Amino acid sequence: MAKQSAKRKKWSRGPCIGRGTHATIFLATNIENGKKFAVKSADRGNVIERLSLEVERRLLKACRSPYIVKYLGCDSTDHVKEMYGRNTFNLLIELVPRGSILDHISRSGGSLPEEIVIAYTRDILLGLSYLHSHGVIHGDVKAENCLMGRNNIKLCDFGAGKFLADEDFVLEPRNGQEVDVKRIFTTGTPGWKAPEVEDEVEQGSASDVYSLGCTVVEMCTGKPPSQEHSFDFYPSPKIYSEECRQFVDLCLRENPRDRPEAQELLEHVWFTKPFVYPVAKQAHSIGESTFHMISEIVELLY
């Protein structure tokens, strides 16, 4: 009887609430207490999907910060009908029903007020400062991977992350490239990648800082800066302060050794300006079909 009880499934799978590159995200319910959380499921038979979720599990399990989505556990499920009958590896994480900063940008017509950008940037920096102090790189900082919690932003989607202590995966030189040129496997999204990451030379905490600079531009303009870093893509001086543009310049320095660390950036004069974190009203971001259900979840959680 004890073995049967231990194997009994302790949560039920609800509707799909999002899709990532390597996983599908579902609403889930704890059968014992009725609490809601999120489940990221990947096909166990797909090596890339499984590896990405395993990396995320390893990193999240080591993190304890209010600025990082909380790890709740992991398990496996066979023949999941919502995944076309596939066997899945499941990552259980806290539910953050307000959606991402990208959702907020979209709802706001393509840009956010500076006082909100300051608040969001500060929270992202607090998350990055925690990660970097514990030897962790996020690897894919962008508005889509920053969730809006009740009181602060939470970094999510660590499938591109790594521990700094881990050895880099060395790749074969490209055609025509010198054989003694070291080329490493890097992660991230084009448009948010630091130059050294694009060139597959290195990827460290300074690379996260560069991606943060791109994310600030994204919050101000609706898109990351161009590869040429044209000032046409920088925060408009008519709308955003000089301190904002100076902060972005620091983050987007080409040489990673010239970029300040996340903890140092928290002391930037930009953060002395007034800022506000928007209060939750309604959870639109997951879709109209689940609007009322998610609104109820917010009440249950808080």
User: In 3D, which of 185, 158, 116, 115 has the Cα closest to residue 21?
Assistant: 158
Going by pLDDT thresholds of 50, 70 and 90, the confidence category of residue 174 is low
C-alpha separations of 18 from 27, 109, 167 in Å? 9, 22, 32
> How many residues in total does the chain contain?
302
Assigned CATH class of 101-272 = mainly alpha
19-49 pLDDT, tens digit per residue, is 887 899 999 999 999 999 999 999 999 998 9
| Residues noted as catalytic | 140
In this prediction the pTM is 0.84
Please say whether the beta carbons of 11 and 73 come within 8 A.
Answer: no
Angle, alpha carbons 115-118-120 (nearest 5°) = 110
Look up tokens 């962790």; give the residue: 136
pLDDT (mean) for 139-167: 92
User: In 3D, which of 95, 96, 149, 105 has the Cα closest to residue 126?
Assistant: 149
CATH of domain 2-95+284-301: 3.30.200.20
96-126 pLDDT, tens digit per residue, is 989 999 999 999 999 999 999 999 999 999 9
Q: Is 142 annotated as a binding residue?
A: no
Query: What is the residue-averaged pLDDT of the chain?
Result: 85
Domain layout of the chain by residue ranges: 2-95+284-301, 101-272
User: In 3D, which of 135, 130, 136 has the Cα closest to residue 152?
Assistant: 130
224-267 pLDDT, tens digit per residue, is 987 554 455 678 888 899 999 999 999 999 999 999 999 999 99
Beta strand 36-43 pairing with 24-30: antiparallel
Between CA 86 and CA 89 the distance in angstroms is 10
